[in-house]
Structure 1
Amino acid sequence: MRHEDVWRALDALAAEHGMSASGLARRAGLDPTAFNPSKRTGPDGRARWPSTESVAKVLNAIGAPLEAFAALVSGNPGTGGGGRRPISGRRIPLIGMAQAGGEGFFDDGGYPVGGSWDEISVPEVPDPHAYALEIHGDSMEPVFRDGDLVIVSPGAPVRRGDRVVVRTRSGEVMAKELVRQSAKRIELASLNPAHPNYGFDLPEVAFIHRIVWATQ
């Protein structure tokens, strides 16, 4: 059993249940940063292993048998996935919605860059620049809930009625529904009526990308 295989198995469990590693930790009642890549090695470079207690809490929280986890560690996810489809081998960048507003995560074209992203395995998405965001807040309930993951395709055409991720030039990142787009302005809707709608002149918008898949 190798250190990287155990962590890969935890990442795979998270992806199969529509969560990031931090979302899986939260679901299990652990510190949300417990499974972050930065916690997988110590300051001295030595490997850190997840505790048996942490793994047990994860399996209890998602209702997975120990055999399912062991199968993922050994690289055979089909033996214990609880009826779920085995995850794809493709991995794409993953970041939290709030964190995505920071500098250094997107290039001038709106594509993910830099080494600070996590990664997640997802169903096949044809866009080579696709990335994942973890939803924060309840403005898009009941469609997207806090902690859900959305897969975003910068290359997909955006039309009225699409659920989109928008980043403004001031660094604000939000998931909304595109209500209207003209040559000068976009109008966005929050699905939760308790939250306001938004409108931006196009020069205020860094990018608008379509959400093509979401976990629940």
Structure 2
Amino acid sequence: MLKHSQIWRAIDRLAESKGLSPSGLARRAGLDSTTFNKSKRTTREGKPRWPSTESIAKILQATNTSLAEFTALVEGDGIGRPAPQTLPLIGFAQAGQAGYFDDAGWPVGAGWDEIRTPEVTDPHAYALEVSGDSMQPVYRDGDILVVAPDEAPRRGDRVVVRTMEGEVMVKELLRLSEKRVELKSLNPVHDDRSLAREQVEWIARVLWVSQ
């Protein structure tokens, strides 16, 4: 069965293989430049939104890509970037600074270290090193979180959240609505958070932790 994340990952890989951003791929296909933006991949209620068959047909035609080649990208093979064996690594304090993430929450720029991990299929996954004790007892100082920005977060997931002011936090997602993001603290000493959607720059799902 095809997964929502597989289809979107295939679109990202196709764009990358052609030297394009997802927005650039959409423009080349004659689509609105925001068609493949991360914000369009889920509804305001946090439910998965699938790309239309028409939009997929247009990008295949625009890039001279066969259906078989696109299927290979969906399955994790083919012309796209292979699943990484190393991930970019950043410290928790750095993650709040400018220049390390784009608007979609993907890692960019210099200053990243690298870490070897088991296979991760999200081409934009990265590792985040925990510092301090604000997330105890769930995560401790020095733990490595593997984060997948292309995976749609669901209620109950642990997520990394970056606010428009640059604050970065790891919480449990309680509710994602059209207007608000409700977050539960991992440490009972710290308060839960309720943020307006316009306060949140991006949300990324934590896949697993290396302790």
TM-score category of the 2 structures, normalised to the smaller one: 0.5 to 0.7
| Structure 2 contact 147–206 (Cα < 8 Å) conserved | yes
Structure 1 ranges of 4+ moved more than 4 A: none
199-208 or 131-140, larger mean C-alpha shift: 131-140
Structure 2 residue matching 1:132: 3-state secondary structure: strand
Per the alignment, do residues 106 and 135 of structure 1 end up closer, same or farther by CA in structure 2, a change over 3 Å counting?
same
| Structure 1 contact 139–190 (Cα < 8 Å) conserved | no
Written as runs of structure 1 = structure 2, the 5 A alignment for 1:1-216 is 90-216=85-211
Partners of 1:103 and 1:130 in 2: how far apart? 18
TM-score of the superposed pair, with normalisation by structure 1: 0.58
User: Which letter does structure 1 place at the counterpart of 2:206?
Assistant: I
Partners of 2:111 and 2:202 in 1: how far apart? 20
Shift of 1:180: 1.1
| Cα-to-partner distance string for 1:95-144 (whole Å, 9 max, x where unaligned) | 01111111110012211001110111111111000001011222322221
User: Which letter does structure 1 place at the counterpart of 2:188?
Assistant: P
Partners of 2:121 and 2:95 in 1: how far apart? 22
Structure 2 residue matching 1:203: 3-state secondary structure: helix
| Structure 2 contact 84–123 (Cα < 8 Å) conserved | no
Structure 1 residue matching 2:169: 3-state secondary structure: strand
| Structure 2 contact 157–172 (Cα < 8 Å) conserved | yes
User: Which letter does structure 1 place at the counterpart of 2:128?
Assistant: L
Partners of 2:106 and 2:185 in 1: how far apart? 24
| Cα-to-partner distance string for 1:145-184 (whole Å, 9 max, x where unaligned) | 1110100001112111100000001000011111111111
Structure 2 residue matching 1:167: 3-state secondary structure: strand
Structure 1 residue matching 2:118: 3-state secondary structure: coil
User: 1:28 is matched with which residue?
Assistant: none
| Cα-to-partner distance string for 1:172-205 (whole Å, 9 max, x where unaligned) | 0011111111111011111211111111101110
TM-score of the superposed pair, with normalisation by structure 2: 0.59
User: Which letter does structure 2 place at the counterpart of 1:163?
Assistant: R
Q: Give aligned-pair identity as a percent.
A: 59
Structure with greater Cα Rg: 1
Matched length = 129
| Structure 1 contact 184–202 (Cα < 8 Å) conserved | yes
User: Which letter does structure 1 place at the counterpart of 2:120?
Assistant: V
Structure 1 residue matching 2:161: 3-state secondary structure: strand
User: Which letter does structure 2 place at the counterpart of 1:193?
Assistant: P
Shift of 1:89: 7.2
| Structure 2 contact 155–175 (Cα < 8 Å) conserved | yes
Structure 1 spans left out of the alignment, 5+ residues = 1-87
| Cα RMSD for the two superposed structures | 1.4
Partners of 1:161 and 1:215 in 2: how far apart? 20
